[in-house]
Amino acid sequence: MRIEAIDLFCGIGGLTYGLKTAGITVLAGLDNDNSCEYAYKNNNKVKFICEDVAGYDFKAMKKMYSKDSIKILAGCAPCQTFSSHTFKVKNREKDIRWNMIEHFLRGIKTIEPDIISMENVRGITKTQVFFDFVKQVEKMHYKVSYEVVNCADYGIPQNRNRLVFLASKLGDISTPQKTHTKDNHVSINKLLNHCPH
């Protein structure tokens, strides 16, 4: 069965590239930063929608999916508000970037994808905004799983902790098993050692 995805807050398309590498058809990426368009389109050969998610009509996006496909809606909302650097700043919940999670939720309610994928900084797990988001997704009868993972445990040469949120209408879902341990983490030196220098 055909698996199709749309990438919200796509930037230059790192997530889109990963989805395509996994054999998933990416229909479009959406971002309000037009400086991302050239890199996104040239690296991924995927439609780039330059619009602000806050005013976007998700009914139009829903029509992009094939009728019988497995539909994925993926997104990594701007995370500066939730980062460890700014987490202790007063009035952070008044930051307009909190609303991006709400607009992502609006997209979910309109599109009703089979699978939802969201990645963000780990600090978001300490916020009421995140727990409200989880409750709303669960109310729509999704099976939900989320975990803070270290990217190094998946072969990436960087110790970087990120939240991975997954939800599915198709049954239970969870983050993939780790591929690496501390004993065999990939270093930058190991990754680039074969390159000429």
Q: Comparing C-alpha atoms, which of 169, 142, 175 is closest to residue 71?
A: 169
Asked whether 11 and 50 are in contact (CB, 8 A), the reply is no
Cα-Cα-Cα-Cα dihedral sign, residues 2, 73, 68, 60:
negative
Answer yes or no: are the C-beta atoms of 173 and 167 closer than 8 Å. Answer: yes
Residue 79 annotated in active site? yes
What the block records as the tokens of 146 is 């989320």
CA distance 76 to 74: 7
| Among 170, 123, 174, 181, residue whose Cα is nearest residue 147 | 174
User: Which member of 10, 36, 76, 79 is catalytic?
Assistant: 79
> Which active-site residues does the annotation give?
79
